[in-house]
Structure 1
Amino acid sequence: MANKVSIIVPCFNHAKYLEECIQSINNQSYTNWECIIVNDGSTDDTETVSRKLENEKVRYIYQENKGLPGARNTGIRNASGDYILPLDADDTLNPLALEKMIAVFNQTPETLIVFSDTVTFGSTNKKSNLQEKFTLKELLLGNKLYCTSMFPKKYFDAGIIFDEKLRHGFEDWEFWIQLIDANREKPITKIDYTVFNYRSHPETSMIKEIVGNNDKKEIIYHAVYEKHKKLFHEFFPSYIALLNRKNFYEQKLERIYSSKPYRIYNFLINLFR
């Protein structure tokens, strides 16, 4: 029997995008899936829209607001699939997403995570270019994966869950740190297929708020550091040296990505994909 995928869709006041999101799941070429919509205390029409979308494969759960990590945890706890794929309610999956990801697990069952690049649409349009391979040390300097990456549910059941204290951001990065640290020898595979489309909003988003606020970013980063202090010190004995190195690479990447040659290169790459 084909492995079942549980797609977890947290929704907080994104009712206007929810139908498009669920339709993209219904359009999957791989059919052994369930979808769990978690209404995280929305004040818009999320419940009404979700009830209309419910069927034998799409379930709806309501909870008082706990934030994104809490909503993801609730969805996964109620999931019956072998594999988990988080998907935010304002994003969409591409039709072959599940088929392509499950194929990796079928071919290499010990695989830990399957991920891909994404296309950003909405207020901005671009394609990402994630590293195909990265080390745990590199991951500690910053996230290398989108939340919409697939992993076996058994690791969540064993206690690797989203940290609900990180409701203001970086919860997916911290989750990957937990998962990869506990399974260092297991393969992580990037596929050459864009799994999902990330919706960019013109209004302020959580990511923009964090990135644009150095104080807030450092507070959240420090919380992740405190939780994984032993691990950070394994690779970076000095916290100050770590911060300096992290800031150096952030500034270096910012200069590269904003340079004219890179913008031309990225345009040409996306043009001929």
Structure 2
Amino acid sequence: MYKLSVIICVFNEELCLIDALRSLYHNDIYKQTEVIVIDDCSTNPVTLRLLDLLARFTAYKVIQSGQNLGLSNSRNLGFANATTPYILPLDADDVFPEHAIDDIYAAFNQNPEFDFIAGNYYLNDLQTGQTQVVDCSTVTTAGTIDIKKLGTDWKLLGTSPCKKATWEKVGGYNLKYSYSVQDVDFWIRVMASGSKGFYLNKPVYTWNKSATGMNMNFNRLDMVKLMEDHRAFYLLNNTAASLDNRIFEAYYPYKQKGVLLPLAKKSFLRLKPFNKLRLISFYIKTMFNGA
């Protein structure tokens, strides 16, 4: 009977997928680990051949996404199909350190009141060849993840293990951010829901950071949308005026009338004088140009 589930999301990864799967073997609990591989409509022939072999000759669940909808959808499929209470996401280009899964399972069992596990992790920069340990103790208080500290030093691992019930509680990953900051959005919602994170003072993951990796997608505007969607979280460490000016200054270069003018109605009085002038100038131009 499985005790926990590892979900691996795939999109055209090749041999690194084998490394990810191989890292599961170095755990005493391996035979009691449910492995779910979700393919987000890969087109790479090598990837497709690997997935076919896994489906035919292993006990892994290989799930095909109906259409390419990004990482949020793949993660949701993995969580939905998991049959155990504890879920460990693993990106296809990353690996687990030796006995990390054992340590995570023990932490869940010994601390049943916690909803997710946040451990240290290895950051392996594939471009420089350098590896460092990211210490997450700086965002904790009394062994628990501190949401306010995290707001000024975001270092929570996007693939942190959590209970399936925690994923269900917040409604899963948001498709709105499926190709960029889905992890940040998910974890803000998890912590805002009152869920508690246990700090495990051990490396529990190896992030193989690369310029083309699946965990390197970034959209600047999505970060701004996060500030709007999770205003209460960002106000933990910012004044309303400071936050509104950051949002305005991020949107302003794009000169989008449908964004800037509604924003002005909500926050004009809190904008800096210079930003007020820029907004007034933009408004006048739109009146004459119909932009």
Q: Same fold (TM over 0.5)?
A: yes
Q: Specify the alignment match of 1:126 in structure 2.
A: 131
Letter in 2 for 1:139: L
Q: Which has the larger radius of gyration?
A: 2
Aligned length, in residue pairs: 235
Structure 2 gap segments, 5+ residues each: 247-291
**For each residue in 1:122-160, what CA deviation from the matched residue of structure 2 results, as whole angstroms up to 9, or x when unmatched?**
333222323311521233345331123211111222343
Superposed CA RMSD in Å reads 2.6
Write the distance in 2 (CA, Å) between the matches of 1:207 and 1:105. 25
Write the distance in 2 (CA, Å) between the matches of 1:107 and 1:141. 29
Give the TM-score taking structure 1 as reference length. 0.76
Q: Specify the alignment match of 1:200 in structure 2.
A: 209
**For each residue in 1:187-228, what CA deviation from the matched residue of structure 2 results, as whole angstroms up to 9, or x when unmatched?**
x22323222222233x44466563xxxxx42x1112112222
Percent of aligned positions with the same letter in both sequences? Answer: 25
Instruction: Tell me: CA distance 1:173–1:96, structure 2 relative to 1, closer, same or farther (3 Å).
Output: same
Matched, 1:164 2:175: yes
Write the distance in 2 (CA, Å) between the matches of 1:208 and 1:155. 25
Structure 1 gap segments, 5+ residues each: 211-215, 245-273
Q: Specify the alignment match of 2:8 in structure 1.
A: 9
Instruction: Tell me: CA distance 1:239–1:8, structure 2 relative to 1, closer, same or farther (3 Å).
Output: farther
Write the distance in 2 (CA, Å) between the matches of 1:127 and 1:120. 5
| SS of equivalent residue, structure 2 residue 149 | helix
- Moved segments of 4+, more than 6 Å: none
What's the CA shift for 1:83? Answer: 0.5
Write the distance in 1 (CA, Å) between the matches of 2:244 and 2:104. 34
| SS of equivalent residue, structure 1 residue 160 | coil
Contact 1:8 1:37 (8 Å CA) reproduced: yes
Instruction: Tell me: CA distance 1:34–1:243, structure 2 relative to 1, closer, same or farther (3 Å).
Output: farther
Q: Structure 2 matches for 1:235-250, cutoff 5 A?
A: 236-238=238-240, 240-241=242-243
Give the TM-score taking structure 2 as reference length. 0.72
Say which of 104, 117, 120 aligns to 2:120: 117
| SS of equivalent residue, structure 2 residue 8 | strand
Of stretches 233-242 and 165-174 in structure 1, the one that deviates more from structure 2 is 233-242
Letter in 2 for 1:170: V
What's the CA shift for 1:113? Answer: 1.6
